[in-house]
Amino acid sequence: MAVADTVSRRRFGHEAMLLGQIGIETAPCPGDCGFCVFGESHTQIPKNTLSMEEILARAEAFTRRGDLYALFLMTMHDFTNERLLEIIQAVRKCIPPETQIVVNIGDFDIAQGQQLRSAGVHGAYHVCRLREGTDTSLSPEDRKKTFRTIRDAGLDFYYCCEPIGPEHTPEELVEQIFLGVGYGCFQHAAMRRVFVSGMPLSDRGQITELRLAQIVAVVTLATLGCQETQNIAVHEPNLLGLTAGANVVYTETGANPRDTEVDTSSNRGLDMPAARKMLYEAGFTALRLGNGRKIALDLPYLVESAVDDVGRDGV
Ligand code: SF4
């Protein structure tokens, strides 16, 4: 972990990245992942879709300081292409040019990939999860086909070793880690499966943040030979991961597969001031923006940005 931390800080120049995700809808999902609160065979979450006004208000809140590297838009496995494109175009107009848009959606083909690119999308988060096809109803081959599509469409490929539970063997983790490396991921990461009561996999338990940080370190070292990898994330955000090689955290609002609240910002989702503070406490000295520019992450910035966010939200 100490070696990964040192080489990562050297590799990324002590820069961190802030990412934000809006879960734009909830519905019983045919992916039926045994760890996800939206799986259609066990979900208790009501169907809900954020209106365009709500999405734009959340996008504005995430980007008002102009220090968000990328805004993620997340759907269920099935999504309506036309509505997604409409949302992307509207969001693109409302957020600063230095913030990129990334999608976290179901499998898609090259025609859709090119449409996304033309609409202003820079990247896509996609994973062939641990035990995909066994603990989920999705096909590992379809997931990998979408990796290729993402690369062929010219999008940045955001990947992750997830969702890690105590039952996963080192061999399974290594195989999944190198799958992302093999497809030239722009971002690699590690995420633990979060214990949510009543899920089909709940009785398998949850790994500690310390074990997660050790896997973050392995991911960090495993990507050293991958030219495309430009950052390492840890999900959910925590300081141990940020001192074991990770330099990225996500803030979240709306739907969240790891949360039983319809709007995760009132529960598990970290907000922007808390995320900035965590990166600062982990010793990062700059935030990288989506246009390559940097902002110094120091105490005056932390205070000024927190006052601005809190003041405007009236909290
Ligand atoms: S993790 Fe994604 S694909 Fe799986 S059930 Fe949840 S929303 Fe659907």
Question: What confidence tens digit (pLDDT) does each residue in 145-189 have?
Answer: 999 999 999 999 999 999 999 999 999 999 999 999 999 999 999
CB 259 within 8 Å of CB 232: no
Residue 282 has pLDDT above 60, yes or no: yes
Residues 116-133, mean pLDDT to the nearest whole number: 97
What is the distance of C-alpha 3 from the center of its chain? 24
Ligand 1 neighbour 23 (Cβ under 6 A): no
Residue 20 covered by a domain: yes
Q: How far is the CA of 129 from the centre of ligand 1 (A)?
A: 11
* CA gap 158, 175 in Å, rounded: 17
* CA gap 275, 142 in Å, rounded: 34
Residue 313 covered by a domain: no
Residue 33 covered by a domain: yes
**What residue's CA is closest to ligand 1, atom 3?**
31
Choose between 210 and 48: higher pLDDT: 210
What number of CA atoms fall less than 13 Å from residue 191's CA on the CB side? 24
Residue 315 has pLDDT above 50, yes or no: no
Mean pLDDT of the chain: 93
Ligand 1 neighbour 29 (Cβ under 6 A): yes
Atom number in ligand 1 closest to CA 36: 6
Q: How far is the CA of 202 from the centre of ligand 1 (A)?
A: 16
Residue 98 covered by a domain: yes
Task: Extract the tokens encoding 62.
Answer: 């995430």
The total number of structural domains in the chain stands at: 1
Per-residue pLDDT at 314: 43
Atom number in ligand 1 closest to CA 257: 6
Residue 276 covered by a domain: yes
* CA gap 79, 24 in Å, rounded: 10
* CA gap 12, 184 in Å, rounded: 17
Residue 309 covered by a domain: no
Ligand 1 neighbour 257 (Cβ under 6 A): yes
* CA gap 116, 103 in Å, rounded: 9
- Whole domain around residue 288: which residue ranges? 2-303
Ligand 1 neighbour 79 (Cβ under 6 A): no
Can you list the pairs that 206-210 forms with residues at least 24 positions away whose Cβ atoms lie under 8 Å?
Answer: 206/165, 206/166, 207/164, 207/165, 207/166, 209/238, 209/240, 209/241, 210/240
Share of the chain above pLDDT 70, in %: 93
Ligand 1 neighbour 194 (Cβ under 6 A): no
Ligand 1 neighbour 77 (Cβ under 6 A): yes
Task: Extract the tokens encoding 233.
Answer: 């994330």
* CA gap 95, 271 in Å, rounded: 17
Per-residue pLDDT at 194: 92
Residue 263 has pLDDT above 50, yes or no: yes
Q: Give the per-residue SS3 of 249-293.
A: EEEEEECCCCCCCCCHHHCCCCCHHHHHHHHHHCCCCEEECCCCC
Ligand 1 neighbour 189 (Cβ under 6 A): no
**Which pTM does this prediction carry?**
0.94
* CA gap 315, 263 in Å, rounded: 17
Residue 267 covered by a domain: yes
What is the tens place of the pLDDT at every residue in 220-233?
Answer: 999 999 999 999 99
pLDDT classification of 310: cutoffs 50, 70, 90: low
CB 149 within 8 Å of CB 108: yes
Ligand 1 neighbour 183 (Cβ under 6 A): no
* CA gap 61, 195 in Å, rounded: 29
Identity at 304, one-letter amino acid code: E
CB 16 within 8 Å of CB 248: yes
Residues 255-279, mean pLDDT to the nearest whole number: 78
CB 207 within 8 Å of CB 166: yes
Largest CA distance in the chain: 49
What is the tens place of the pLDDT at every residue in 39-88?
Answer: 999 998 888 899 999 999 999 999 999 999 999 999 999 889 999 999 99
All residues at 6 or more sequence positions from 220 whose CB lies less than 8 Å from its CB, including other chains: 4, 7, 8, 188, 232, 244, 245, 246
CATH value at residue 129: 3.20.20.70
Atom number in ligand 1 closest to CA 136: 4
Residue 34 covered by a domain: yes
Q: How far is the CA of 11 from the centre of ligand 1 (A)?
A: 33
